[in-house]
Structures are given as structure tokens and as C-alpha cells.
Amino acid sequence: MDDTAVKVSGLTKRYGAVTAVDGIDLEIRRGEVFGLLGPNGAGKSTTVEILEGYRRRDAGEVRVLGEDPAHAGRAWRSRIGVVLQSSNDHAELTVRELVRHVAGYYPDPHDPDEVIERVGLAEKAGTRLRRLSGGQRRRVDVALGIVGRPELLFLDEPTTGFDPEVRRRFWDLIAGLADDGTTIVLTSHYLDEVEALADRIAVIAGGRVVAEGDPATLGGRATAKATVSWLEDGVRRSVETDEPTRTVRELAARFPGEVPELTVTRPTLEEVYLGLIRQA
């Protein structure tokens, strides 16, 4: 089996005079969690919809699980799972009824009750969807995306409306799916979520990929200057340096005992991301 789950070359999509996706190249390996970042209107959602087979492209080559999504059939669709950004249908069904119904479309689904428990809705299994909170309804969306035992799972803003505890449990769920070999394409505005889950990240701006890499090195993050900060004479002082260890040694020689409120930091993923967007 090919180790590549998604391969995109020269992907282009236009809406009239507007080029939403402008020659994107991507390669996503099987079993990895791949994060797609970008501001609204950058072409991120259009790219994902093309990969899912919901939107036609104007140019370029696309292979998802070895097939062209534009022409793939029912068997291919049974191998992917999709968690859309929002959905509000089936309000009169209970959680269990809906998950069991959707599971029936797949040849080898997970046990619906196990899936409901994994997304933290066991106590709400008999509740109609219209009576769920927004965060609980979002967890139903996730359950529907994973019940078919997908080889490739698309997650679009999956934890919107989750409280912190459930959000962390969801991270564990995603990590477990990845450990089981599921390939995951994740779009999220929560940078801490992407950093915690993604093996690699691509940043899209203006319809193009402006940076790609693992979270620790994206956009030169690992080699960026460090900021050494400390408190001296009641004033917070800081310096940017390529040699933070040397700076810390010099400070240690100046102060008896501990250097007051000493911190050493490199740019966060959010800072790197915002810098890339500004440059684009």
C-alpha cells in the first residue's frame, strides 16, 4: 500500500475573477495528523472540500487514498470520515438513533454505543438532538465522523463549544485514532490544539502554502532568537539572543542566588503563524 494518503499537485480553484486556491502542493502521509492553518478566506476550506469530494477543482492533480475525489464512488466515500464545521439536522432523533443510523451506511463500523461513550455522551445517548447544548451537538458531529472506522478523517474546527475538560479528552481520542493508523486532516483556530495534535502543519494564505513543517520548526521557529527576561531593580528587562545559555550564565554571575523571575522563551506557534500571515 502506498504510504501517501493525500497527494496534491498544482491545485487551483477559481470563483469568477477570484482565485481562491492558487497552485497548492501537499503530501500527507498515512497515519499522520496533518494540520491546515490559515485565516478566513485563505483557501483552506475550499482545499479541504476538494479533498473530500464535495467541490470540483479547476486545475491540478489530486489523489486521496489512491483515487481522484472528483470521480470516486461509494466504496471510496466509506473510507473517509468528515466532521463539518456545523450541522443542525435530525433534531428529533436521539443521539443513539442517529449514530446507529449513520453506522448502517458503512461496511465495518465501530459499535455505536462505544463511539458515543468515547465522545463523552453516554449519559445523553437517549436525548433528542434539539435538547443538546452546542458543545454536546458538536460531539455528536464527531461521533458521526468516526463511527464508520475511516482510514482518513477530516476534522473542521472539531472542538468548537467544548469545555476544557472535554476538549482534552477529545485530544486523547484523536491521538488514539492516529495511533491506530487513522490519517487525520485537522483545521482549527486553536493553535494549542494544532500544536498538541499535529505531526506536520501547512499554513495557507492567499490561496498558497506559505510554510510547511512540524510544529517545533515551522517558519524557522526552532532557530529564532530566544527572549531572556528577568526582574532587576523592580523593572522587567529582556533581551533577544541567539545564545540564551550564555546570557543566563552572565546573569547568574551578576546576581547572588537565583536570577529574579528568569524566563527563556522562543516564539510560540501563534506568533510564528501570525508572522507568516502578515508576510503573505
Q: DSSP letters along 135-195, please?
A: HHHHHHHHHHHHTT--SEEEEESTTTT--HHHHHHHHHHHHHHHHTT-EEEEE-S-HHHHH
The alpha carbon of 159 is separated from its chain's Cα centroid by a whole number of angstroms, namely 10
Q: What percent of the chain has pLDDT over 70?
A: 98
Question: What pLDDT score was predicted for residue 170?
Answer: 83
Instruction: Write down the pTM of the prediction.
Output: 0.85
Model confidence at 1: pLDDT above 70: no
3-state SS assignment for residue 21: strand
The pLDDT tens digits of the residues spanning 6-33 come to 999 999 999 999 999 999 999 999 999 9
Q: What residues pair up with 18 in beta bridges, in sequence order?
A: 15
Question: What pLDDT score was predicted for residue 165?
Answer: 82
Question: What pLDDT score was predicted for residue 195?
Answer: 93
CB 28 within 8 A of CB 4: yes
3-state SS assignment for residue 52: helix
The alpha carbon of 161 is separated from its chain's Cα centroid by a whole number of angstroms, namely 16
Question: What pLDDT score was predicted for residue 87?
Answer: 63
Question: What pLDDT score was predicted for residue 120?
Answer: 84
* pLDDT grade for 69, boundaries at 50, 70 and 90: very high
The pLDDT tens digits of the residues spanning 114-143 come to 999 988 899 999 999 999 988 888 889 889
Residues 31, 64, 170, CA angle at the centre, nearest 5°? 40
What would the mean pLDDT of 251-260 be, rounded to a whole number? 92
Question: What pLDDT score was predicted for residue 78?
Answer: 93
Model confidence at 220: pLDDT above 90: no
CB 90 within 8 A of CB 98: yes
Side-chain half-sphere CA neighbours of 54 within 13 A: 11
Give the chain's mean pLDDT. Answer: 91
The pLDDT tens digits of the residues spanning 70-116 come to 999 999 999 999 987 666 678 889 999 999 999 999 999 999 999 99
DSSP state of 210: E
Question: What pLDDT score was predicted for residue 86?
Answer: 62
Residue with cell 486532516: 185
Separation between Cα atoms, residue 195 and residue 184, nearest integer Å: 14
Instruction: Give the contacts of 168 (CB within 8 A, at least 6 positions apart).
Output: none
Question: What pLDDT score was predicted for residue 159?
Answer: 82
What would the mean pLDDT of 195-220 be, rounded to a whole number? 93
Separation between Cα atoms, residue 120 and residue 166, nearest integer Å: 7
What would the mean pLDDT of 236-253 be, rounded to a whole number? 93
Residue with cell 446507529: 100
Instruction: Give the contacts of 243 (CB within 8 A, at least 6 positions apart).
Output: none
